[in-house]
Amino acid sequence: MKLRELIDGLEIVRVQGDFDVEVAGLTYDSRRVSEGDLFFALARNLEQRRQHVNEALSRGAHAVVTETGWGGKVRPAATVVECSEPRLVMASVASRFFRAPSQRLELIGVTGTAGKTTTCFLLRSIFEAAGFSAGIIGTLGAFAGAKRIYEGLTTPEAIDFESQLATMEQLGIRWVAAEISSIGLAQHRADALHFRAAVFTNLGRDHLDFHGTLENYFAAKLKLFTEILPRTSKSDPVVVVRGDDPFGKRILDAVGVRKVSFGFDATCDVRALNFEADRANLRAEVVAFGKKLTVISPLLGEVNLPNVLAAIATSLALGIPHEAVLEGIRRCSGAPGRMEIVPNASNLTIVVDYAHKPNSLEVVLKSLRRLTKGRVLCVFGCGGERDAGKRPIMGEIAGRFADITIITSDNPRGEDPLAIIHQIESGIAQLGLPRLSNPADIARTQKGYFVEPDRRSAIEHAILNAWAGDVVLIAGKGHETYQLIGNRKLSFDDREVVRQVLKKNGLQVCA
């Protein structure tokens, strides 16, 4: 396509060079530029932007989009487009270049602090049970059916997002459930997409290192419902919201399109009347738009019930038959690393979960507490170079809702792991719980906490010192298969480490 076609009508400040240059591809990574590409310079640092532009041009880019006032010089053959917000321009350009696949697909955006991934997996299962081909875009990657076509950001940059949707369309996918993150919304990654529905799961503390305040974090989420969805080309778009969440109520008050609520309040369109959960499945009686449904799900714990309700409300609002909704829920075993049990014959329930935020950790621990008459042991840490304010909060939550807490490392990145652990410990210490001095104390204690910076050793201590019937929760990393320590990315999968510990100690691992 010609550059003129791609940027016509957009908020461009100045174009230097040939307006009609041919564009063969789009990229925002100067290391991956191919001959004829249009390159978007997104670096915040001015000097980095200049370096990236020069690298892109040296690799054959025909044009670049950069922020106004960059002050660089380029070779005469290149075209430079200056604008105030390159990411905003990139979203519209990507949509035009890939011919707006979301206009033809049925795209559902799911946002919220917790539950996005599981809700998307439930929706895909329901769509498939209804006979439709379905895809997912989110934390675990982009999947066309069972085929992974991308792995990267939860909400991909606009070029990647549009490219994945175009690939899905080519592969015959009709419905797509996509996780829409607050950072992705703040950075305009979803601005040019055409959503059929937007879903809000809940809101708690997260990403405050990026947004600064909880109110700013909510404002980013709200954009999906009040700005992006209303621009859709779809007829009768729908907003699906957790109606008993205080922020959900604010969304319901703010939107002007069709809206559906789910939750536990009697005022919700889809609500749970009662439920019971054990280690085998989750069962609930649900009223959905006046019709009573019996729901059975293999997902673990009541923590998953709001996700099930969200999927029911969304699917029924989109016209999916009740039978397909119930069958899709029955079939869906959940997302990897989300309340995932590692099967074993040691009379322990060992659960790996991605909970790395205060609200998520509390809900997961409360849910597991109701599944056991034994103790709940929690192994967790907090990531480095991320919201440090949540660390003592999560320590206090673990101390209140677990019997034994083992504080360890998560992804410390460039921070000192011991400093992170100390901040977590400050939260749990205020509860007056005993700090255990050696691993063997874990087996002799009803309530307390232990510090083990090495995550592998922490997991081993928990498993080997648990009592029969205990629940061991390993939280924070979930599906991740790596650990970020300093500038190294080390192979590390909590689930595989559990299996290795069981095997090493002569404990039976079940398939």
Residue 235 domain-assigned? yes
Spatial separation of the C-alpha atoms in residues 155 and 179, rounded to whole Å = 6
Q: Select from 331, 361, 387 the last residue of a domain.
A: 331
> What pLDDT is attached to residue 251?
97
Do 218 and 274 sit in the same domain of this protein? yes
List, in sequence order, every beta strand (DSSP E) within 354-431.
376-380, 404-407
| CA-derived radius of gyration, the chain | 24
Spatial separation of the C-alpha atoms in residues 173 and 145, rounded to whole Å = 8
Do 205 and 289 sit in the same domain of this protein? yes
Do 180 and 240 sit in the same domain of this protein? yes
Do 270 and 392 sit in the same domain of this protein? no
Compute the C-alpha angle 252/255/259, nearest 5°. Answer: 60
pTM for this structure? 0.92
Residue 93 domain-assigned? no
Q: Kind and range of the H or E element at 251? A: helix 246-254
DSSP assignment letter at 509: B
Number of domains in the chain: 3
Do 128 and 65 sit in the same domain of this protein? no
List, in sequence order, every beta strand (DSSP E) within 258-364.
258-263, 270-277, 282-288, 291-297, 340-341, 349-353
Do 321 and 469 sit in the same domain of this protein? no
Ordered strands of the 25-27 beta sheet? 12-16, 79-83, 63-67, 37-40, 25-27
Residue 92 domain-assigned? no
Do 23 and 171 sit in the same domain of this protein? no
- Which one, of 61, 85, 67, lies nearest residue 10 by Cα? 85
Helices 116-129, 305-317: inter-axial angle, 10-degree rounding: 50
Spatial separation of the C-alpha atoms in residues 152 and 383, rounded to whole Å = 18
Q: Which amino acid is at 129?
A: A
> What pLDDT is attached to residue 509?
66
Do 381 and 462 sit in the same domain of this protein? yes
How many helices (H) and strands (E) in the chain? 17, 24
Do 80 and 131 sit in the same domain of this protein? no
Q: How far is CA 85 from CA 24, 67, 265, 421, in A?
A: 22, 6, 42, 39
CB 299 within 8 A of CB 339: yes
Q: 121-124: long-range contacts at Cβ-Cβ below 8 A with a sequence spacing of 24 or more?
A: 121/177, 121/332, 121/334, 121/335, 122/307, 122/308, 122/310, 122/311, 122/328, 122/329, 122/332, 123/175, 123/177, 123/311, 123/314, 123/315, 124/175, 124/177, 124/332
Residue 311 domain-assigned? yes
Q: Which residues of the chain have pLDDT under 50?
A: none
Q: Select from 303, 331, 359 the last residue of a domain.
A: 331
Do 305 and 386 sit in the same domain of this protein? no
Burial zone of 77 (CB within 10 Å; 0-12 exposed, 13-18 middle, 19+ buried): exposed
Residue 509 domain-assigned? no
Residue 146 domain-assigned? yes
Per-residue b or e along 240-265, where b marks 16 or more CB atoms closer than 10 Å to that residue's CB: bbbbbbebbbbbbeebeeebbbbbee
198: CB partners within 8 A, 6+ apart: 108, 109, 110, 111, 180, 224, 225, 228, 229, 237, 238, 239, 240
CB 190 within 8 A of CB 184: yes
Length of the chain: 511
CATH (domain of 349): 3.90.190.20
248: CB partners within 8 A, 6+ apart: 200, 202, 203, 241, 242, 261, 263
287: CB partners within 8 A, 6+ apart: 270, 271, 273, 293
Q: Select from 313, 331, 349 the last residue of a domain.
A: 331
Residue 201 domain-assigned? yes
Spatial separation of the C-alpha atoms in residues 452 and 445, rounded to whole Å = 17
Range of the domain at 118: 98-331
Spatial separation of the C-alpha atoms in residues 278 and 255, rounded to whole Å = 38
- Which one, of 13, 51, 16, 3, lies nearest residue 30 by Cα? 51
Do 238 and 361 sit in the same domain of this protein? no
Do 404 and 300 sit in the same domain of this protein? no
Token pair listed for 468 = 């029969």
> What pLDDT is attached to residue 346?
84
> What pLDDT is attached to residue 510?
64
> What pLDDT is attached to residue 306?
97
Token pair listed for 405 = 């807490």
DSSP for 73-100 reads ---TT-EEEEES-HHHHHHHHHHHHTT-
CATH (domain of 19): 3.40.1390.10
> What pLDDT is attached to residue 401?
98
Residue 511 domain-assigned? no
CATH (domain of 105): 3.40.1190.10
- Which one, of 326, 256, 249, lies nearest residue 288 by Cα? 326
